[in-house]
Amino acid sequence: MSGQSSDSEEEDMSNYGLSMVSIAGPSKHDCGYCKGKNTSISFGIWAHSMTCADYQDLIDRGWRRSGKYLYKPDLEKSCCPQYTIRLDATKFNMTKNQKKVLHKFNRYVKGNCKAELPAKKPANYVQVKSLQDSIHEPEEQEVNEHKLEQIVLEPSSFTKEKFALYAKYQVSIHHDLEEDVSESGFTRFLVDSPLKTNNESDFGSFHQKYIVDGKLIALAVIDILPKCISSVYFMYDPDYSFLGLGKYSAFREICLVQEYNKKFSDLKYYYMGFYIHTCPKMNYKGKYSPSDLLDPVSYKWYPIENFKSKLDETSFVTFDPIERDYPPGWLDPKSLKEKELENVFVLIGDGRIAPIIHIVKFRTSKSFKKNILDYVIVGPPGSGKTTYCWGAYQYLTAIGRKVAIVNLDPANDNIPYPCAINIADLITLEDTMNELSLGPNGGIMFCVEYLLKNMDWLTDKLKELEDHYVLFDFPGQVELFTHHSAVKDILHGLEKIDYRLVAVNMVDAHYCTDPAKYISVLLLALKTMIQLELPHVNVLSKVDLIESYGKLRFNLQYYTDVMDLSYLLESLNEDAFGSKFKKLNEALCDLIQDFSLVGFYTLCVEDKDSMTRLQQVIDKTGGFVFGGLTEGNESIMLTAMKAGYHEDVSDVQERWMEDDYDY
């Protein structure tokens, strides 16, 4: 289930036993193991609420959680592939060195833990203690030098004592700066969980406290799931590092699995997170036997010994040689059955949900294309068209829409976004200029005209994107969308093959600081609207930088709503050059106001709220709806964003600008 939610909605979902997630999308970040830059790649979701059974299914497909954020590493593309590792706790065999750690802790509690090694004693082959006996041995002693209070589980929660331990551990062991360690970060990382837990629940997210002599010396964060106990994090007091508490906690948790297995026969595995073959801090997990690694393609488990020799040669290993027509790690779409999707829902807004099976049926229907908007991005050079396309791609992907960008600007040779179709594959600006002895503007005009003559090339490639929201990134030459017919004819050709187009006209907000330039872009926007004959949204881009170019004469709303332009005429007439064209300026202002068509919305691409507001406007402008998705014509029709939206320009001004304007 996906979508945004309130706290009350999350609680309702948990009561119904539903998992509710929002798509966070792909991400690249620096690797914490090899220190590579942007070489660790994963896909993320935000879990508002999740059942333990669903999370079990996810970790058995390579997912892990950090707080409420769930992520799945891309093992094939990442620098240090992270393989899911599990141990069959019911068959756990302790090594000699592992036994030493356990015995050392027990001797410490008893009071006879010394620096020197104890004298060797003859091996006792008659009576061999089990892991559970050894773990609980100090608890059963009547007299110990140190009091080991019974280590019990409690639902994950925040206390000052836990945070103090966490802060001490992070600063001393991981060398975090004290000012970077916060209560909110601790809560978000190690207290918050999408798994609903209470004191009566066997499954969920828990804290396991290690208390010696009345002092909290260590804390384990674990998830208890239908088939396993998953270790999330472990921290300890650095003053007790001599006890090897990290290893001891693993024995404790393995023992806990064995004890749970007596009640739940399916619960027999211990998950230690990820195994990284080339990293000593992560490959030690393979020393707990018998362990298996998860095949990243088939999702089958294989003994770690099968992987090790292959991992010595290559970082990405799979035992599934079958070639597939879907990406590694994906479920085979053909294997999914409608019945399996009946209990999967999509949050569609206003607290309402719909079965995803109806969405799936609709997305494969012929009518789905008629409900998709495609965006025509136009505007003068430097207005931020390409930057917006890249930002819109990331934003739309994050909210669950399939997006593709088509670059139709032959001068755009530094494309930051993934380009589905590129005019450069049809004709290049450099070759055109060289062969026809044209300048840049003439070359661009020729390339666009050439595209119009070869529309079959474009429409053939677009057939592969029928279920995508397509963004068309056009050149910045103003004549192309003010009076030249080529772009208009291209757009009409797209409409003939059922593309529902919305024009998004980008204008750099700094033009508002100069009255003459502002009137010019108003005229340009008006001419573009008349020329393209499409649903149209005018946008003042880079609004966060507007005051770096100069002070506005009036408040921002004056410029977005295009209010009485006579006030700007007064300032134009003060200028000697402007006064020379007084009548022309008055005629232009009258023309703009007589049409009364132009108005602007604001945009800061780096700001999520700003992108959301603009997306709401674009969706409403194009009449975006999911209509008639359910059988029997029982409509769950809903506009993509909330109805009744309007932009409060005063909020935008308060955030990005000085608040001392009058009008």
Cβ(59)–Cβ(230) below 8 Å: yes
Q: Count Cβ atoms below 10 Å from residue 179 Cβ, excluding itself.
A: 6
State residue 400's pLDDT score.
78
The helix (H) or strand (E) run that includes residue 45 is strand 40-49
Residue 130 has pLDDT above 50, yes or no: yes
**Token pair of 341 as six digits:** 């999707």
Quote the percentage of the chain above a pLDDT of 70. 76
Of the pLDDT bands very low, low, confident and very high (cuts 50, 70, 90), residue 562 is confident
Of the pLDDT bands very low, low, confident and very high (cuts 50, 70, 90), residue 331 is low
Core vs surface per residue 481-509: b (16+ CB within 10 A) or e = bbebebbbebbeebeeeebbbbbbbbbbb
Residue 121 has pLDDT above 50, yes or no: no
CA 191 to chain centroid, in Å, comes to 21
State residue 663's pLDDT score.
36
Residue 374's Cβ-count burial label (10 Å; 0-12, 13-18, 19+) is: buried
Architecture of domain 87-118+128-294: 3-Layer(aba) Sandwich (3.40)
pLDDT higher at 152 or 431: 431
Instruction: Provide the mean pLDDT of the chain.
Output: 82
| Mean pLDDT for the stretch of residues 209-219 | 92
Answering whether pTM is above 0.95, one says no
Residue 106 has pLDDT above 70, yes or no: yes
pLDDT higher at 181 or 584: 181
CA distances from 12 to 8, 16, 156, 223, 642 (A): 6, 6, 20, 22, 21
Tens of pLDDT, residues 156-211: 999 999 999 999 999 999 999 999 999 999 999 999 999 977 656 689 999 999 99
3-state secondary structure 113-133: CCCCCCCCCCCCCCCCCCHHH
State residue 662's pLDDT score.
44
State residue 25's pLDDT score.
80
Of the pLDDT bands very low, low, confident and very high (cuts 50, 70, 90), residue 655 is low
**Which residues are within 8 A (CB) of 433 and not within 5 positions of it... i.e. 6 or more apart?**
439, 440, 442, 443
Question: In this predicted structure, which of 28-32, 69-73, 359-363, 388-392 has the lowest mean pLDDT?
Answer: 359-363
Residue 539 has pLDDT above 90, yes or no: yes
Cβ(328)–Cβ(297) below 8 Å: yes
Residue 336 has pLDDT above 90, yes or no: no
State residue 592's pLDDT score.
87
Quote the percentage of the chain above a pLDDT of 90. 44
User: 87-118+128-294 and 371-562+598-654 share one CATH topology?
Assistant: no
State residue 513's pLDDT score.
87
As a whole number of angstroms, the distance between CA 520 and CA 524 comes to 6
Residue 143's Cβ-count burial label (10 Å; 0-12, 13-18, 19+) is: exposed
For the chain, the structural domain boundaries read 7-79, 87-118+128-294, 371-562+598-654, 566-597
Residue 122 has φ and ψ, to the nearest 5°, of -60, 140
Measured CA angle at 52 (ends 50, 54), to 5 deg: 65
What is the DSSP code (8-state) at residue 190? I
CATH topology of domain 371-562+598-654: Rossmann fold (3.40.50)
The single-letter code of the amino acid at 311 is L
Residue 426 has pLDDT above 50, yes or no: yes
State residue 141's pLDDT score.
59
Please report where in the chains the tokens 């008659």 appear, as a residue.
126
As a whole number of angstroms, the distance between CA 306 and CA 294 comes to 11
